[in-house]
């Protein structure tokens, strides 16, 4: 009698782990359903059943990237005041982007659309972390301004990381200075409040 096929959460996790490894080692272009299946020790039919194909697997890689980023950020921001959390989040994001450049590419190259079956929990938690810290710094300011300021801070650090990766910020000392000046300036602006 043939062995029953099990296509459960453990197999899904193996596929995602395999896909993250492939993306981190060789870039998203190297991620195929066949290669992910081989690395996961399964088959393409199981991958398709669990993820609907390559695009669904890439979405799962994106979700996993945000979950990893959130875990790092949570651990490093516990007990800090609002400004300290934002400053530390910038450091965490920079380190994460340096360690996982291909994963960052996947996380930010795809639109975060609720129309797809993407687990947005990690991305939403990143946004909530930034928004919560900004809200604390801007107590009493309307939520539209808080949301815009939090999004702006997130985009600033994402842009800094991308430009550093492409060598636009200069060598290590120059890049550090740009990060310090930009993050300090953003935090000073938040401290000053809306005009």
Q: What CATH number does residue 126 fall under?
A: 1.10.357.10
Residue 1 in domain = no
pTM of the predicted model as reported, rounded to 2 decimal places: 0.87
Rounded Cα distance, 182 and 178, in Å: 6
Residue 141 DSSP label = S
Q: Is 169 helix (H, G, I), strand (E, B) or coil?
A: coil
Residue 43 in domain = yes
What does each of the 195 residues of the chain score in pLDDT, given as a tens digit? 444 455 588 999 999 999 999 999 999 999 999 999 999 999 999 999 999 999 999 999 999 999 999 999 999 999 999 999 999 999 999 999 999 999 999 988 766 655 556 778 888 999 999 999 999 999 888 889 999 999 999 999 999 999 999 999 999 999 999 999 999 999 999 998 887
How far is CA 175 from each of CA 106, 128, 167, 179, rounded to the nearest angstrom? Answer: 23, 28, 9, 6
Encoding tokens for residue 129?
A: 């972390």
Residue 2 in domain = no
Domain that holds residue 178: 9-192
Residue 141 in domain = yes
Residue 118 in domain = yes
Q: How many domains does the chain have?
A: 1
């Amino acid at each position: 009698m043939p062995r029953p096929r099990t296509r459960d959460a453990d197999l899904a996790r193996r596929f995602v782990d395999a896909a993250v490894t492939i993306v981190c080692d060789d870039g998203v272009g190297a991620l195929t359903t066949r290669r992910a299946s081989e690395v996961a020790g399964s088959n393409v039919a199981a991958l398709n059943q669990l993820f609907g194909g390559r695009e669904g697997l890439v979405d799962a890689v994106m979700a996993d990237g945000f979950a990893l980023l959130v875990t790092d950020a949570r651990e490093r921001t516990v007990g800090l005041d609002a400004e300290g959390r934002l400053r530390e989040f910038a450091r965490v994001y920079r380190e994460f982007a340096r360690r996982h450049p291909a994963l960052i590419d996947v996380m930010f190259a795809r639109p975060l659309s609720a129309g797809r079956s993407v687990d947005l929990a990690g991305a939403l938690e990143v946004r909530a972390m930034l928004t919560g810290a900004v809200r604390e710094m801007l107590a009493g300011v309307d939520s539209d301004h808080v949301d815009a300021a939090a999004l702006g801070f997130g985009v600033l650090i994402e842009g800094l990381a991308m430009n550093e990766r492409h060598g636009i910020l200069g060598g290590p000392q120059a890049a550090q200075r740009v990060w310090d000046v930009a993050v300090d300036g953003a935090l000073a602006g938040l401290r000053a409040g809306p005009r």
